C-alpha cells in the first residue's frame, strides 16, 4: 500500500511489481544473479540507448546518480585534459563542484536557470576555449524542469575533437535518446528515475574506445569505472564490491515493465500527457509556470508562487494529507515549487491532483 504518490523527479512512485521484486534475496556470487539479472540489465540499457555492444558498453555503480557523475569525471578527465561544463541549474553546477574537488582543469560557463543550453551557446563556449578536450552538460535540469537541446547541441559538439559527457539522469528512459547518433561518449543516469526503479545504483553507457582510455586514470578506488567495468566483463555481471542486490532485481523488473508499456516512446507520451494535464490544470487555478512551453520538459514542472503570502509548507502538508508529495523550488531568483510527472503516475492521477489542489484553495 502506498502512503502517498511521489510527484518528484526521483525517487519516484514505483509500480507494485517493482516493489514486490525486492521480496527475494540474492547472492552476489551466484550465476542466476550475475548472468540472469545483471547481464540482461546491461544489454537492455544498450538497447534503450540505441547502441550495440560492438561500440558501447555499460558500467553499473553503487550509489546515487551523483556518484556516477563523479566517477565519470574522475576517470575520464586526465591531468593533461581540460573540461568545459555548461550549466543552467544546480546539477550542471554540481559537476563544477566535483571538478573542483578533484582539482581538474575546467571551465564553467553558467547561464540563468530559465535559459536553455542551445547549439549557439555551446559553439560560442567551445570557440572561446580552444584547448577543451571534454565537454559536459545536463540534458534535463530538474532545478526548473528545463529541457536542454541535446540533439541540436550534439551536432555542434561533433565538429570539435572533444569527449562528450551527458548527465541524462532525469531523462534517460523517459525521453528518447539516440546515443550513437548524438555522438555521446558517456551518458550517465540512475535506477530511480524514468526507468522507474528504486534508489541504490546508477549506470554509465560508455563508448568502448573512450572507456578503454580511462584505465588507471580514476582518483578513487570505489568510483573507478574502468575497473568496475573490467570486473563486470570478465565476471559476467559480477560487481567488484557488494552490489545492491534487491535494488538491482527491482530495476530488472522495472525494465520488463518499461518494455511491456511499449518502450521509451510510449512512456514519453504518458509523461507528456501528465505534464499537459498538470500545467493546464494549474493555470486554470491561477498558477503560472516558470518556463515557456517550448523549453519545458515532461519530467518536472516549476510554478511561481501565486501571491506574496503563499505558504508553500502549508500547501505541501495539505497535499500530503490528500496523498500527494511535491517538491520545493530550487531556482535562485524566484519563489517556486515543483511537481513531477514521472514514475508510476498516470493522467488520472494528475487529474486527481488538480482536483485536490482546487479543494485546498477553496
> How wide is the angle at C-alpha 34 spanned by C-alphas 30 and 36, nearest 5°?
100
For residue 45, tell me if it sits in a domain.
yes
Name every residue whose Cβ is closer than 8 Å to that of residue 36 and which is 6 or more positions away in sequence.
none
Which residue, among 17, 18, 19, 36, has the nearest Cα to 27 in the 3D structure?
36
Q: Rounded mean pLDDT of the chain?
A: 97
Q: Mind listing the pLDDT tens digit for each residue in 24-75? A: 999 999 999 999 999 999 999 999 999 999 999 999 999 999 999 999 999 9
Label residue 356 by pLDDT band (50, 70, 90): very high
Shared domain for 270 and 135, answered yes or no, is: no
Shared domain for 242 and 97, answered yes or no, is: yes
Q: Mind listing the pLDDT tens digit for each residue in 277-332? A: 999 999 999 999 999 999 999 999 999 999 999 999 999 999 999 999 999 997 87
For residue 15, tell me if it sits in a domain.
no
Residue at a domain's end among 233, 259, 285:
259
Whether the CB-CB separation of 268 and 175 falls below 8 Å is answered with yes
Q: Mind listing the pLDDT tens digit for each residue in 162-194? A: 999 999 999 999 999 999 999 999 999 999 999
For residue 38, tell me if it sits in a domain.
yes
For residue 240, tell me if it sits in a domain.
yes
Q: Mind listing the pLDDT tens digit for each residue in 124-137? A: 999 999 999 999 99
Average pLDDT of the segment spanning 349-361: 98
Residue at a domain's end among 209, 230, 259:
259
For residue 93, tell me if it sits in a domain.
yes
Residue 335: give the domain boundaries: 5-10+262-361
Total structural domains within the chain: 2
Shared domain for 240 and 330, answered yes or no, is: no
Whether the CB-CB separation of 47 and 203 falls below 8 Å is answered with no
Q: What is the pLDDT of residue 204?
A: 98
Q: Mind listing the pLDDT tens digit for each residue in 200-246? A: 999 999 999 999 999 999 999 999 999 999 999 999 999 999 999 99
Phi and psi torsions of 141, nearest 5°? -90, 110
**Residue 105 is part of a domain; what is its CATH number?**
3.40.640.10
Question: In angstroms, rounded to a whole number, what is the distance separating the alpha carbons of residues 360 and 286?
Answer: 13
Label residue 18 by pLDDT band (50, 70, 90): very high
Q: What is the pLDDT of residue 23?
A: 97
Q: What is the pLDDT of residue 332?
A: 75
Alpha carbon dihedral 100, 119, 59, 42, in 10-degree steps, equals: 160
**Residue 304 is part of a domain; what is its CATH number?**
3.90.1150.10
Q: Mind listing the pLDDT tens digit for each residue in 86-104? A: 999 999 999 999 999 999 9
For residue 350, tell me if it sits in a domain.
yes
Q: What is the pLDDT of residue 47?
A: 98
Q: What is the pLDDT of residue 9?
A: 87
This prediction has a pTM of: 0.97
Shared domain for 183 and 289, answered yes or no, is: no
Residue at a domain's end among 224, 259, 294:
259
CA dist 118 to 28, 110, 187, 207, Å? 44, 13, 18, 24
Q: What is the pLDDT of residue 357?
A: 98
Shared domain for 254 and 337, answered yes or no, is: no
Whether the CB-CB separation of 307 and 336 falls below 8 Å is answered with no
Shared domain for 355 and 207, answered yes or no, is: no
Shared domain for 164 and 293, answered yes or no, is: no
Amino acid at each position: 500500500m502506498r502512503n502517498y504518490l511521489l510527484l518528484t523527479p526521483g525517487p519516484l512512485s514505483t509500480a507494485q511489481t517493482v516493489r514486490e521484486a525486492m521480496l527475494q534475496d540474492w547472492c552476489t556470487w551466484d550465476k542466476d544473479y550475475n548472468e540472469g539479472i545483471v547481464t540482461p540489465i546491461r544489454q537492455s540499457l544498450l538497447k534503450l540507448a540505441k547502441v550495440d555492444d560492438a561500440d558501447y558498453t555499460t558500467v553499473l555503480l553503487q550509489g546515487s546518480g551523483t556518484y556516477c557523475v563523479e566517477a565519470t569525471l574522475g576517470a575520464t578527465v586526465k591531468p593533461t585534459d581540460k573540461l568545459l561544463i555548461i550549466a543552467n541549474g544546480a546539477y550542471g553546477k554540481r559537476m563544477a563542484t566535483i571538478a573542483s574537488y578533484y582539482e581538474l582543469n575546467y571551465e564553467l560557463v553558467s547561464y540563468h536557470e530559465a535559459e536553455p543550453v542551445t547549439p549557439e551557446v555551446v559553439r560560442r563556449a567551445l570557440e572561446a576555449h580552444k584547448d577543451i578536450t571534454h565537454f559536459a552538460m545536463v540534458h534535463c535540469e530538474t532545478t526548473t524542469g528545463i529541457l536542454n537541446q541535446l540533439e541540436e547541441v550534439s551536432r555542434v559538439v561533433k565538429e570539435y575533437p572533444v569527449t562528450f559527457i551527458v548527465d541524462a539522469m532525469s531523462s534517460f528512459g523517459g525521453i528518447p535518446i539516440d546515443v550513437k547518433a548524438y555522438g555521446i561518449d558517456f551518458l550517465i543516469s540512475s535506477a530511480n528515475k524514468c526507468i522507474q526503479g528504486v534508489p541504490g545504483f546508477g549506470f554509465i553507457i560508455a563508448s568502448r574506445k573512450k572507456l578503454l582510455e580511462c584505465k588507471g586514470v580514476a582518483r578513487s578506488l570505489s568510483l573507478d569505472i574502468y575497473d568496475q567495468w573490467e570486473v563486470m566483463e570478465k565476471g559476467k555481471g559480477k560487481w567488484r564490491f557488494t552490489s545492491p542486490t534487491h535494488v538491482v532485481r527491482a530495476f530488472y523488473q522495472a525494465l520488463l515493465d518499461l518494455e511491456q508499456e511499449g518502450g521509451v516512446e510510449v512512456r514519453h507520451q504518458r509523461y507528456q500527457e501528465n505534464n499537459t494535464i498538470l500545467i493546464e490544470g494549474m493555470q486554470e487555478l491561477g498558477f503560472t509556470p516558470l518556463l515557456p512551453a517550448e523549453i519545458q520538459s515532461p519530467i518536472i514542472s516549476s510554478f511561481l508562487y501565486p501571491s506574496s503570502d503563499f505558504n508553500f509548507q502549508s500547501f505541501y502538508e495539505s497535499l500530503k494529507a490528500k496523498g500527494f508529495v511535491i517538491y520545493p523550488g530550487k531556482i535562485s531568483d524566484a519563489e517556486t515549487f515543483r511537481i513531477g510527472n514521472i514514475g508510476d503516475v498516470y493522467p488520472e492521477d494528475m487529474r486527481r491532483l488538480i482536483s485536490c489542489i482546487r479543494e485546498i484553495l477553496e
